[in-house]
Structure 1
Amino acid sequence: MTKAEEYLQEYVERIGKSVSGIDERTGHAIASMLGAYKNAIYSKAVKNADKSLSLLKKGGSPAVLSKAVIIVRNSSIRLAPMQKSMSSSYTWEGRAAGGVGSIGDAEIIECDFAPEDEEYLALVLPQDEIKVPEEYNLDNALALCYAAALKSSPLDEQSLQEWVYTYVLTKISDYIGE
């Protein structure tokens, strides 16, 4: 097992206790968001993020998880104009010209992790070592969402391991050196 694999495994176990109140439906929505994001289907990632946020409002999870979902959602909105599919041709505003795959009126929700969120983050660096804050926040958000989905949605475990694990592992490896 590599250093990054051990690090991610320990993180998932540590976070598992914090997200134990998340129901399977919410975990599935988060897993679906991650799968869509990783596969560059950003319009679907936005829709699944919105569903996740709606379900997270019911409680049972730390507020930082909602922040993580918002950060992935924001990235999806920014990347939506680059989404390639047979049925999409995007306008400058990130809306599909034909309506298929559209993110609709989805707007960016300003959101960042706060110092009090650090206990939930996979990667904690001193401020002066964070070169691109948006990417640092996104990488932490992806790791937190991955851990939460893995721990709360057993039916998604295999697809998360097959489709998202290596993606998150690569992000972590970039920080811890491997």
Structure 2
Amino acid sequence: MSDILGIIIDRMPYDESQKLYDFEYYIGNALYIASYLFLIIKISKSLDFNYVLKKLKIHLIVLTVLNIYLLYVLHTIINPNTVLESDSYLETVYNLVLLTLLSLALLNYFYRDNKKSFYLFIGALCIVFSEVIDVAYIYIAQRCILNFLSTTLALSAFYFFYQQSKLLNFAKEEGDFVVIE
């Protein structure tokens, strides 16, 4: 919906007051945040957090440190280029939700270790890389190759999300693994 909104607003006559573009920016990002939050909720429902907290402590610590560092780097890039303080908050929330999605998808893959969770993780990874490249395109250098890579990764993410949606999510069984002595 956000991309369709962007296409429609780009086709409209130029607005001197920029209100139409502000509307598209806030509503579009809110729609993306909502869609990522729904995906986070869907992943969270299938995770056993007791298992994650017991067995994946080191993974959680490393992911938390990496997320904090990535949020700091993205904030350092984006913050000097925002006009309003609300823009900075929106970008921070957007990046936080995106990195949470990636972390939960990775934890889900560690927990489930199946093809469906792998596709979900690869899709989330493509989305995050797409957004990071998009930040570089918007705030650092507007090169066509960056825009092309960002779009290609976003389309790849939807391909992986589609592929994982066709698969069933089998429960992780401890009996699936055999120890060879």
For the pair shown, the structure with the greater C-alpha radius of gyration is: 2
Which of the two has greater helix per residue?
Answer: 2
**Highest relative contact order (Cα 8 Å, sep 6+), 1 or 2?**
1
Q: TM-score, normalised by structure 1?
A: 0.30
Q: TM-score, normalised by structure 2?
A: 0.30
